Amino acid sequence: MEADLHAISLIALPCVTAAACCFFYRDRPSARRIAIGIGAALVAWLVQPVYFHACLKGVPFTQKLVPVLCIAPALIFIGRPLVAATAGLVLFALAPALCHQYLDLIHRDGCTGNPAWASKLNETGSTYQLEGMGNALKRIGSLDTNPRPAGWLRDSDLWPLLQEEEREWDPSIRIEVKRFWHSWLTRLYSERQVEQAIWYPGGAPLEAAGRIELRDPSGGGPSR
């Protein structure tokens, strides 16, 4: 819901700016007003802080760009100097406010600004986990050559043969990312955690070690 309100705010800014420009339009803007408007927008962009977070969940861009771009037409086309100056100051103040709101949203559960990073975490984590459990099954397979049926590894008779630290590979969490209707503008994406478990493909442990895969217990497909 808050992400939707954030998107509506970004969409409303240019709309309100355009309405104010039409309502307070007086005469054709002079070259001086045009220069002031463009210069003010450029300065506003340059003095905005650079946002970076080591968590790599995303950085604001349109949250800073949209208010700054609105400054130029506000100063150029609003004919009353006091109204134009007030509009410019409000738009300038909204840029960091929207940026901080974006940063607050991406650091909550259920939202991210960097879907590529989430996919990379899934890929890296899955590979590391499957390799670890595969090595554990190879260890067991060197002593036990009896075939087992396909099924969840936690439910098989191989589970008691795993060492305690090896059992930590199962279950795991996969991050599922989906687009919001406004992701094209806000660069915000829906994020949720999905529990996964290791699926044993059947056969002797040594032979099956390289074919295990992660699946959603709810019935989802394999994830490698």
**One domain, residues 116 and 57:** no
Instruction: Domain of residue 84: give its range.
Output: 2-106
**pLDDT on residue 219:** 57
Model-level pTM? 0.76
**One domain, residues 101 and 124:** no
**pLDDT on residue 222:** 46
Domain count, the chain: 2
**One domain, residues 52 and 27:** yes
**One domain, residues 95 and 46:** yes
**One domain, residues 97 and 46:** yes
Of 214, 212, 133, the closest CA to residue 174 belongs to 214
Where among 72, 106, 140 does a domain terminate?
Answer: 106
**One domain, residues 60 and 154:** no
Strand partners of residue 197: 215
**pLDDT on residue 224:** 42
**One domain, residues 61 and 6:** yes
Enumerate residues 6+ apart whose C-beta is below 8 A from 66. Answer: 10, 13, 14, 98
**One domain, residues 99 and 119:** no
**One domain, residues 17 and 120:** no
Which residue numbers in the chain have pLDDT < 50? 220-224
**One domain, residues 80 and 176:** no
Where among 87, 106, 125 does a domain terminate?
Answer: 106
Where among 80, 106, 132 does a domain terminate?
Answer: 106
**pLDDT on residue 161:** 87
For 168-200, letters b (16+ CB in 10 Å) and e give: ebbbbebbebeebebbeebbbbebeeeebbbbb
**One domain, residues 139 and 207:** yes
How far is the C-alpha of 139 from the C-alpha of 36, rounded, in Å?
73
**One domain, residues 28 and 61:** yes
**pLDDT on residue 42:** 95
Q: Is 137:182 a contact under the CB 8 Å cutoff?
A: no
Query: Cis (ω within 30 of 0) for the bond into 201?
Result: no
